[in-house]
A and B are shown apart, each in its own frame.
Chain A
Amino acid sequence: MNKDYSKIINKNAVKPKYFKNSFLAFIVGGSVGVFGQALIDLYVNVFEVDKVNANSLMLVTLILIAALTTGLGIYDYFGQFGGAGAFVPITGFSNSMTSAALEGKSEGITLGIGASMFKLAGSVIVFGVVSAYILGLIRYIFFMS
């Protein structure tokens, strides 16, 4: 029964358009990368920020743009169109936080915005910190001490 059911589901499921989706993700994600590089060059050459700070400033700028466009409701279209090209760059991280915060707004500032901001982005931070801590310990023990 269960097997039959999943067979029918698989037969009738809409097959994702692998090539089209990947192509759009490539174009959108690549464009975000180029835009970021343009921002770095702008900060280094025009505003004479040093290289390391320009990198952080570029990321902060992208985060600001993503948060604003999420608030205006534009980022959703970008996400439907670009797929992974919209959620893999740091802009997707900012979008997930802003949209979670907006969604919780109706429950108030503390329990809504404050508590639900990391609903989606939290796993990224948790996985990042746990893996970086384990890898950091391994490298500290075997290569530094």
Chain B
Amino acid sequence: MIYLNAFLVAGGICVIGQLLVDIFKLTPGHVTSWFVVVGAVLDSFNIYDNLVKFAGAGALVPITSFGHSLLHGALSKAEEMGVVGIGMGMFDLTASGITAAIIFAFLVAIIFKPKG
């Protein structure tokens, strides 16, 4: 069941992105940037948490979850440390993803030749 939900939610978010590109002529850069903001906004009232519970990876894989994780890490650190925690916890949850992306991108760029 969670596989069906994952398919529908991840697919649905991508359809919204595709429609924004086709109808409003936005570039992929605009769409992904706004999706991150939307993800952070949806962290309020536990909307995104419930979406993750409902769809598992279907909600974690789209870039919206990046904004959600940023705010989530910031707030959980703010709970224990006060207002300083917002800055300190910002990258708590996303650090592994960003680190991995930097390391792999660097290694691939060193090893492979640009195509085309």
Contact = CB atoms under 8 A, between A and B. Distances in A.
B101 to A, nearest CB: 5
Interface size class of B (residues with CB under 8 A): 35 or more
B80 to A, nearest CB: 11
Contact of A37 (B34, B57, B67): B57
A39 B93 CA distance: 19
Interface residues of A, number: 79
A21 interface: yes
What is the predominant secondary structure among interface residues of chain B facing chain A?
Answer: helix
A21 B63 CA distance: 19
Nearest to A117: B105
A106 B35 CA distance: 32
A18 interface: yes
B46 to A, nearest CB: 12
**Residue in B57, B66, B75, B86 with the greatest tally of chain A CB atoms within 10 Å:** B57
Contacts of A85: 11, 14, 18
| Among B32, B37, B55, B66: residue with most chain A CB under 10 A | B32
Given A63-B97, A84-B21, A92-B32, A25 B15 contact: yes
